[in-house]
A = this chain, B = another copy of it.
Amino acid sequence: MRDLLPAEVELRDQAASTILGVYRRHGFRRVETPAVESIALLTRSEGGENEKLVFKILKRGERLDLGRAAGVDDLVDLGLRFDLTVPLARYYAANHGQLPQPLKAVQIGPVWRAERPQKGRFRQFTQCDIDILGVASEVAEVDLIVATLEALLALGLEGPRVRINDRRILTAIARGCGFAEERHGQVFVTLDKLDKVGLAGVRAELAATGHDLQAVERLLGLLADFGGEGNGKVGLVRARLGSDLDAVVAEALDRIIDAVAQESGGRYAIAFDPSLVRGMGYYTGPIFEVAHGGYGSSIAGGGRYDRMIGKLLGRDVPATGFSIGFERIVDILKEREGLQPSGQERIALLVPDGGDLPEAVAAARRLREAGCIVSIEPRRRRLGRQLGELRQWGYTQFAVLDEGGDLELRPIAAGDPGGAGDAERSRDGGRRSEE
C-alpha cells in the first residue's frame, strides 16, 4: 500500500471530480458502502479468484477463542471488500425499499487485494463503478457505455475503443462446437487468453486440458472466420450459430452497437468481439471492455449480472455495471501531463516572530476574499531559502506587513529568489546553490 503525496492527490481528485461530474449529468447518484463486509459475503464465490485475496479481520472479544479454533474460518468474521460489485449487490438487497427504481449508482472508493507487491499493482487501490439495477433492457448498456466513454473523453483520453460480446453468445459458441456443458467455464478461461497466446496457443491449451479435439477445431474455425473483431459481424455469428443462439440476444447486441456507434461522431469506436470473455463468472449478458491508445490491457470493463442480487434478495433483479480502472487512468494522466501545480494564485503571508498576528490574519482573509489561496507561515531567518521552497511548492507570491501595517505583495521570481529585494534575501539567494 502506498502514501499519496499532495500533487498526486490533487491529480486524483481532479480525475475523480471529472468522472463523477459526467456520471452525475447522466443521472447516476453516488452511494457508499462500508469498506468492511462479512467474510461470508466476501467468500460466497461471486468474486472468482479475488476471493483468495481477501484481507481477513480477526474476531474480537469473547467471540475470538484461539484455543478452540480449528482453522482460519473460526478466527475471522469480517474482511475488506475486494471490489465494489459484491458490496453493491448486498447494499441493494438490504436497502432496496429506500432506493430509487431503477437505481443508477456511481461508486468511487478503495478496494483491497492481498496480492504480492509488484510494479503498478497496489494492495489498496481505487475503483470507480457505475451500475444500473432494475433495468433489463439494453437501454441500460447504452447508458453505461456512452456515459463511461464521455467520462474518458472528459479526462482527455481520446479515441477510446469498446469491444463488446455477450456471455450467451459465448455459451452458444461452446455449445455449438460441442464442448461439454460443465466445462464451458474452462473453455472461456482459455479463450480469454487469445490476445496473448493467439489461435495456436488457444488450440494447444484446450487440447492439453483434454477437451474434445473436434470441438476445439470447430472453435478455432469459427474464431478464424470471425477474424478477431469488427463491426457488423453479429450477423455472421448469428448465421453460424443458428438455433444455438436466441435471436433476441443478437438483436439487443446490434441495438447497443448501433446506438453507441451513431452517438460517437468519430470520437470513439465500438466493435463486436466474439472472443471477449472477461473473467468474472457472474456475468449473464452483454460484456464490454475499453482500450485506449497502445495500452495492452483494458482501462474499463463491465457487463450484465442479472442473477447476483437474487442470491441475496431471493428474487432476481436485472443489473449491469461498468468499472473504470481508476489507477490505470491516473497512470496515463501522470505520464501525459506530469504532476503540475494547479493554475490558481498561491500566496504565502509571512509573519515574523512576534509580528502583528491579528493584522496578518485579517490581511490573509481579504486576499482570500479576492480569490487567492493564502497560507500564513512564520517568516524564517533565511528568507531566500524559504522563498525558494515556497516556489517549489507552487507559491507565486509572498506577502509581508510593513511597519505601518500595510500589506506588501511581491512575486516569487522564478529565476532568482533574492532578486526582489533586501540584503538578507540576496545573501540567502546566493547560498541556494549549496543546498
Contacts and interface: CB of A to CB of B under 8 A. Distances in A.
Interface of A: 1-6, 9-10, 12-13, 24-36, 55-58, 60, 64, 66, 69, 71-72, 75-76, 78, 80, 91, 94-95, 98-102, 104-105, 110, 112, 114, 123-124, 135, 137-140, 142-143, 146, 255, 258-259, 262-263, 346, 348, 351, 353, 357-358, 361-362, 364-365, 368, 372-378, 389, 392-393
- Work out how many copies of this chain go into the complex: 2
Nearest to A365: B263
A145 to B, nearest CB: 10
Contact of A98 (B5, B9, B36): B5
A10 B36 contact: no
Contacts of A348: 27
A376 B34 contact: no
A259 B358 contact: yes
A61 to B, nearest CB: 8
Nearest to A136: B378
A166 to B, nearest CB: 17
B358 A27 contact: no
B104 A3 contact: no
Given A3-B34, A34-B1, A393 B258 contact: no
A393 to B, nearest CB: 4
Nearest to A30: B9
Which of A35, A351, A353, A392 has the most chain B CB within a 10 Å cutoff?
A: A35
Interface SS majority for chain A: mixed
Contact of A9 (B10, B32, B392): B32
Contact of A75 (B6, B25, B58): B58
A124 B66 CA distance: 26
Nearest to A263: B361
A36 to B, nearest CB: 6
Nearest to A395: B27
5 nearest A-B residue pairs (beta carbon): A27-B375, A1-B34, A262-B358, A6-B29, A4-B32
A216 to B, nearest CB: 36
A3 B91 contact: yes
Nearest to A53: B60
23 contacts: A3-B32, A3-B33, A3-B91, A4-B31, A4-B33, A6-B30, A9-B31, A25-B373, A26-B368, A26-B375, A26-B376, A27-B346, A27-B376, A35-B110, A36-B55, A56-B58, A57-B57, A66-B69, A100-B392, A138-B357, A142-B357, A258-B357, A262-B362
B25 A376 contact: no
A137 B80 CA distance: 41
Nearest to A344: B24
A249 to B, nearest CB: 15
